[in-house]
Homo-oligomer: A and B are copies of this chain.
């Protein structure tokens, strides 16, 4: 391992870790930050993204050796005491390990769809601006073997630090692509033989009565506004039956039920 001690919070080698939260908001120009042992294991194992370096708490290094051996051996591993690590990051890093990785040239939606196997499940997220929900849906997508995730331009970034954390790394594993609007996907997915189903509280078919198609695109909209009517009118609609008087389900919970139901 390429271990490098950092004793000075101003050390330029650790500059990528400065003021983590402020730069979560400002963006990082082609990079993202991931945190925690389990997430970093997915980052290294899935190898979809190139890790540039790791910053690890000195007293946690021994316990993280197995994790770090999954990374490229030349990757710098910056080792710092808690006070230096917290001063660099700008808050207390209780997980003890952070990585900076490079974004990749984002997959083109058409190329991604064309690359999918004959049996495939693809959640399509529309207007999901909440990082917890997007992260949780990626986690469910990975758990139930979804092949890719498509997002419209009004969704939040799956590589935002909190979304990655909530996804337990799934956002670093499941391929995704962003499109300008979900409407533009309908013809494309249709040409590729996808059965397109919108999950909606007003759906015409109960999900218990819906058969898993060979190729499924599953549209999920934001709680509250839901999917746009214009989109619903072009798709099959499926509902998850609920109890009278409290028909309110979180979109990530709905995705878990639907992805489990339709998993290949």
Contacts and interface: CB of A to CB of B under 8 A. Distances in A.
Interface of A: 132, 136, 139-140, 142-145, 168, 170, 173, 240-243, 246-250, 252-254, 256-257, 260, 263
A249 B256 contact: yes
Given A136-B250, A252-B253, A253-B136, A143 B260 contact: no
A118 to B, nearest CB: 17
Given A142-B248, A144-B242, 5 more contacts: A136-B250, A143-B247, A145-B242, A256-B256, A257-B260
Contact of A243 (B142, B242, B256): B142
Residue of A170, A241, A252, A260 most packed against chain B (CB within 10 A)? A260
B246 A260 contact: no
Contacts of A253: 136, 139-140, 143, 252-253, 256
Contacts of A243: 142-145, 263
Contacts of A136: 250, 253
Contacts of A260: 240, 257
A247 B8 CA distance: 40
Question: Ordered nearest first, which 6 A-B pairs have the shortest CB separation?
Answer: A145-B243, A253-B256, A142-B246, A143-B242, A143-B249, A257-B260
